[in-house]
Chain A
Amino acid sequence: MTNVKEHKNITCTFCGALCDNIEVEVENNQIKKLRNVCAISRKKYEHALEDRTVPMINGQKSDYQSVITKAAEILKNSKNPLIYGLSSTTAEGQKNAVKLAELSGANIDSTSSVCHGPGTMAKQLVGMVTATLGEIKNRSDLMLFWGANPVEAHPNHSKRYSILAEGLFKKNRSEREIIAFDVRKTPTAKMADHYVELEPGKDFELLMALRLLINGKELNSEKDEIAGVKITEIKEIAEKLKNAKYGSIFYGMGLTMTGAKYMNTWAAMSLIRDLNSYGRFVMMPMRGHGNVAGSEITMAWQTGYPFAVNFSRAYPRYNPGEYTAVDLLANKEVDAAFIIASDPAANLPHQAAAFLKEIPTIVLDPHWNLTTDLADVIIPSAIKGITATGTVYRMDHVPLHLRSFLEDQWPDDAEAVSRIGELIENA
């Protein structure tokens, strides 16, 4: 006899857009049908129960309790450990990780530091004018995409929150004007009314040019262009920005991780701030990982700081550039690493990732990845939003509660981290 169960309003955790309208049909602990998923999440769901990690120590199969004990031992014996990742685990897992960092005098950092972290640093300089996604859907008459390509990276974004969404005051595509800024004509740019192609690495210049115009200053350029864009075109754009009733800008890593890095976002934040002297204007970072926003949120309420925190003095200290994972690893300053729900071997610069091979490295992850290949200890875990419950924060900091709909043999991240913490605390 088969037992088919339907689950509605499931939250997909694979990107920062956190669509919460997924429908799943389950039979014999297998996904039979999926509705409302995008191409990316369909693959993730369909292969969720494949390639699962098992407890391993030094390349040998082990058992769950042994890998937990071994992890505690490594962290306890380490003088300056690093806890890193966090963006793909739950808020509950993140909270426990901060406590573990405190107990073991560790550095703790999230993938935010190599993604939208520079934007958070820019926010600390000027602040940020933002809104929840529904607000933008409901009100925004002018939408800008800057170094962001949601059509490929957040496939349901345009339908649910932006270009094509039905809003309260703005009902459809024809009531919105869309401008895309990028270095190549992305699929998102193809959906826009205007595409502005700028020279790679010149975002700061273009943003500052717009800011000058907004503030009533003149633009001068010998070549009659800035960042590869004609002055006349920049002036036309500035007029559009000034005339928006409720403008919005979605920005991606094309802005935060290129050229002037955090000063790019600083320029964008300053521009958007200034535009509020005309109409309303808001901005939204297109966060990638499902709960990377949560990693900043949970760390902030416990430590006061969003990432790059060090506990060697028994209280939190914050210094991006010093306590950020890339720097700690590349400078060979840490003597052990605990990677939670992330794949630094695939994503960090080579010099930083390579150092993980030289120090005891623990990985907590439901799936095999490049980092598990070089790990000394592997702790398997349940999959958030599929076999594990918990809390995740969307790119606009809206919290959502995850339910599980499949069964798993492994405890979730929060429990694994908590058990390691208890072993250290009670040692």
Chain B
Amino acid sequence: MNHTLSDRPPPAQASAAKLPAPGDWTFELLHQYHEAIRSTAQRFGLDTYPNQLEIITAEQMMDAYASVGMPVNYRHWSYGKEFIATDRNYRRGQMGLAYEIVINANPCISYLMEENTMAMQALVIAHAAYGHNSFFKGNYLFRMWTDASSIIDYLVYAKDYVAGCEERHGIDAVELLLDSCHALMNYGVDRYRRPSRLSLGEERARAADREAYAQQQVNELWRTLPRRPEKEAAEKEATRFPAEPQENLLYFIEKNAPLLEPWQREIVRIVRKVAQYFYPQRQTQVMNEGWATFWHHHLLNTLYDDGYLADGLMIEWLKSHTNVVFQPPVGHPSYHGINPYALGFAMYSDIKRICEAPSDEDRDWFPDIAGSDWLATLDHAMRNFKDESFIGQYLSPRLMRAFRLFAIVDDEKAPKLEVSAIHDEAGYRILREAMSRQYDLGSREPNIQVWSVNLRSDRSLVLRHTQHNERPLDDSAEEVLKHVARLWGFPVHLESVDSKGKRSRHWLVTPAPG
């Protein structure tokens, strides 16, 4: 599959010079460590974007937090809220800041916090600059959905554009629009279609054309001039619009909302593009964090075996590593579901084990990879899956036992919860399927699509929620609908339809006047 990784790594050079390991880092040391990590990563054939390591302060880290990790973003109050909350928690000491933020860009930017010790910097470099970076470059979702080389430029464009709109149309108008777009952000992605690439130059040049053209299209759709009778008769047949349900609500609104101004359509588009950029990250949490964790663990251990790293430094990063991959059991006070670092790390380590020392059970379950070359197998797993399929493919019975996994069915109609499977022979497959579904974004988020538009009378938009396992929508649906109505400009219906196709609930929101 991958030509770079099919070869075994060359053996390590004997007795490398031990790197100094003081508590505090210096630029000189960063270079040395980075060089050592880089050459080791190269030996394992990790394919990465060029790295750019940036030293930042805690305050700058909080800034980065607040703008969803991006070095530049348009302004919005919700980021201010995020910043205030982070700042407050940090000052109270309730929360440590993450050690690292890494940006899927080319070159790949990793932030190193100035407070970190040398050991932590080494950990972060291995984790972010080689682990995450190679994942960004290799995984098929990222390759398909994001264009690392232009995202920063696009965000600069977005920031300038939004700022320009604030100047021309007032901060309030832009804020309302962004609020509404953010409410639909998760529904602003193409799940099945392949997106077009972003490029700053094109983007700027085309924005103006697009505005004019889009408006013209919309006007055409909503034409009020009377038509010739014979034509009308023909059209009655095909009144359905859109012809098929649309999953990308923001895209549909951008293209078809009757009353939006051109600049508003452009902002909808910006939010949509940003949502699309983050879409792969939401689908590969376990894989991405697991991959980075596996590689910092493997790289630093290899460096130690090669004689580069001092014992104290190892102890220090291992302590932090152990905290990161801790999986509290259910019922533990700090239990918040499955820890993606723990699961991902365990799965990649387990795949390596299956390749190197398969048991009979492994041969039974994974005949294709048991005993194969672990580097190539791991690389294949990283490139071609997302969380859902990764778990469905690679979660081994041994791991299920190690995590002591069990599945619970919560059925509204039953008086009690039922344990549907545990980590035993009968339960492995059920568990694995249930676990895989749990990471399916399609079932984590309610399935809501544009169903139809009433072109003839009140121009109302009908959204349809197709229930999954009879699960209803929560109370915020009405609030979100108000946002949809604000964008659409005319009444918006939302129908919740159960698995038998029966409409079980209905909302109607008309936009506030003015």
Do chains A and B interact in one complex? no
Q: Which residues in A have some Cβ–Cβ distance to B below 8 Å? A: none
